[in-house]
Amino acid sequence: MEPFVRHTGTVVPLIRDNVDTDAIIPKQFMKSIERTGFGAHLFDAWRYRDEGYYGKPASERVVNTEFVLNEPAYADGSILLTGRNFGCGSSREHAPWALFQYGFRVLIAVSFADIFFNNCCKNGLLPIALPEDVISELAGYASEKRGSSLTVDLDSRLVLLPCGRTFEFYIPDSQRHALLEGLDEVGATLLHSPEIREFERRRMEMCPWL
């Protein structure tokens, strides 16, 4: 997993509540056995006006030009700003995969579904919860200055606007450390490889019949 320390990027305002994982990545695109290829179908039902299916060429799709991700000002967006309970619904890990593969590195919302929040942290995507009045202020900034950017510093737990305004956010120490070091659960376990091998060696000496 790629370490996350600090990121500056374009803010995309998608101020909706209760965006569920089926809206983030619809079920018909979950047929791949690989962990790649989901970004192209992020928010598919909102980005396109026709019905999509797995394998349908992008060149045959009817683009919804009114959807925020299809606006040229947000074409390189990497920070998504949204409302309450983002990522609710099913526990599919494909949702943070789709967001990450599309190009998002930070999600800022009023609140997140618990499983989705944890899945983001395990996949290098930083979820930040901020009060509703702060989200409104950031949404106003992103809408008035379309295509504008902000910076997120995980080490200091701050969101920084170019004007100098800063907003502190909370993230549990364990998840902050994992993101800063680029460690998912497998990576964190492998840090203890010497201890694991020593445990297995002693166990075989004590219980050779196992």
pLDDT at 33 over 80: no
**Structure token pair of residue 210:** 């196992």
Give kind and range of the element (H or E) at residue 139: helix 132-144
Q: Does 206 reside within a domain?
A: no
Question: What tens digit of pLDDT does each residue of 186-210 get?
Answer: 888 888 899 999 999 999 999 888 7
In a domain? residue 131: yes
| Mean pLDDT rounded to a whole number for the chain | 93
List CB contacts of 118: < 8 A, sequence separation 6 or more.
Answer: 175
**pLDDT for res 55:** 83
Q: Which two tokens stand for residue 41?
A: 């179908």
80 within domain boundaries = yes
34-38, 84-88, 96-100, 134-138: segment of lowest average pLDDT = 34-38
The answer to whether residue 32 scores a pLDDT higher than 80 is no
Which domain CATH number covers 89?
Answer: 3.20.19.10
Q: Is-contact 107 125, C-beta < 8 A?
A: yes
Q: Determine, yes or no, domain membership for 202.
A: no
Is position 94 within any domain? yes
| pTM of this structure | 0.90
Are the C-beta atoms of 53 and 35 separated by less than 8 Å?
no
198 within a domain of the structure (yes/no): no
CA distance 46 to 36: 21
Task: Tell me what pLDDT residue 61 has.
Answer: 92
Q: Answer whether residue 134 is part of any domain.
A: yes
Give the structural domain span for 98: 9-150
In a domain, 51, yes or no: yes
Q: How many domains does the chain have?
A: 1
State the CB neighbour count (10 A cutoff) for residue 81: 24
* Span 101-128, average pLDDT: 96
Average pLDDT over residues 119-135: 96
Q: What is the pLDDT of residue 210?
A: 78
pLDDT of residue 59: 85
Q: Check whether 182 has a pLDDT greater than 90.
A: yes
